[in-house]
């Protein structure tokens, strides 16, 4: 990894990406450049990871061939206008923000730039994240593979058409909150029956992690796993019946629909 890679914004996601990059490619620290609105935080990260700190966003653009924009959506327009005149046509721009489409960025910068949109979820912080990736037609296969390599260092990355990236973001980036609620509810059920809370959380979290691993590693269909542990007239099927009777699946699907409506409203505000 000998390309110079920049990060405008050095928050939690940017820091995680940088750490994953350096763990995978130890010499990459010499080629990583960051800028941050909070200069003290930026310099602190510079010292911690032995990377390069730039006093402003433009210096990052001038130094790097590839750069991430890791600022909040409300600050996007300001940042894009600031750096627009300094971006090379050969630069690779990687955007990380919900509700900021490639079309929106192209509307400000123009259509001749190479733009990738990436949406990592919170689990990248433990290197088991899910990142959805879309790119415009200016991005080459080699450049897309570079982006995939970066995000695969902190989990799993997958390319998807941008018209599906919002729903992909919801089921990968919003779902940790839903899964955490389910874990909490299962643990509450254990506590209700007399179990200590710390043990209940440990058992439920491990069971969820193991179930997910079986689906991913063994390519088991979720329905197959449900059937495997649901014996005729048994305990598990009784619980499944109660969940189905109370609309468990439809409630989850309606939550996804509500999230989709919300993200569309945020996107519409940016048009």
Q: Torsions phi, psi of 35, nearest 5?
A: -135, 155
Tell the residue number behind the tokens 């990583």, with chain if given.
32
> Cα(213)–Cα(221) distance, rounded to whole angstroms?
12
Percentage above 70 pLDDT, the chain: 99
pLDDT lower than 50: segments of the chain: none
CA-based radius of gyration for the chain: 21
Domains of the chain: 5-160 (3.40.50.720), 168-268 (1.10.3730.10)
- The 3-class secondary structure across 74-105, one letter per residue, is HHHHHHHHHHHHHCCCCCEEEECCCCCCHHHH
- Residue 152 marked ligand-binding: no
pTM: 0.89
CA distance 92 to 115: 6
Decide: 77 and 102 in contact? Cβ < 8 Å.
no
Q: Are 2 and 21 a contacting pair, CB within 8 Å? A: no
What's the CA gap between 247 and 189, in Å, rounded? 18
In degrees and rounded to multiples of 5, residue 221 shows phi and psi of -75, 140
Query: What is the rounded distance in angstroms from the CA atom of residue 89 to the CA atom of residue 160?
Result: 24
pLDDT tens per residue, range 209-250: 999 999 999 999 999 999 999 999 999 999 999 999 999 999
In which residue are the tokens 């721009």 written? 93
DSSP letter (8 states) at residue 229 = T
Q: What is the DSSP string of 28-73?
A: GGGGEEEE-SSHHHHHHHHHHHT-EE-SSHHHHHHH-SEEEE-S-G
Two tokens, residue 151: 């995000």
Residue with tokens 């990260």: 45
| Distance, CA of 17 to CA of 78 (rounded, Å) | 23
Q: What is the pLDDT of residue 271?
A: 60
**Token duo for residue 127:** 């290197």
């Amino acid at each position: 990894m000998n390309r110079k890679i920049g990060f405008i914004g050095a928050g939690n996601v940017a820091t995680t990406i940088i750490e994953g990059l350096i763990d995978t490619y130890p010499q990459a620290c010499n080629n990583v450049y960051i800028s941050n609105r909070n200069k003290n935080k930026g310099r602190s990260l510079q010292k911690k990871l032995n990377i390069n700190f730039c006093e402003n966003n433009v210096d990052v653009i001038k130094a790097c061939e590839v750069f991430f924009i890791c600022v909040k959506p409300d600050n996007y327009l300001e940042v894009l206008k600031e750096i627009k005149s300094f971006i090379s046509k050969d630069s690779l721009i990687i955007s990380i923000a919900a509700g900021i489409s490639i079309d929106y960025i192209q509307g400000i910068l123009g259509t001749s730039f190479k733009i990738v949109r990436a949406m990592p979820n919170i689990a990248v912080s433990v290197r088991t994240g899910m990142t959805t990736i879309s790119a415009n037609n200016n991005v080459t296969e080699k450049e897309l593979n570079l982006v995939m390599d970066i995000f695969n260092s902190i989990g799993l990355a997958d390319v998807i058409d941008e018209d599906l990236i919002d729903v992909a973001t919801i089921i990968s980036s919003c779902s940790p909150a839903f899964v955490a609620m389910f874990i909490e509810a299962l643990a509450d059920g254990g506590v209700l029956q007399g179990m200590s809370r710390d043990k209940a959380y440990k058992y439920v979290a491990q069971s969820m992690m193991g179930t997910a691993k079986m689906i991913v590693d063994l390519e088991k269909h979720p329905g197959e796993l449900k059937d495997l542990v649901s014996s005729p007239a048994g305990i598990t099927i009784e619980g499944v019946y109660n969940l189905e009777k109370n609309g468990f699946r439809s409630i989850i699907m309606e939550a996804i629909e509500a999230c989709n409506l919300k993200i569309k409203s945020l996107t519409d505000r940016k048009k």
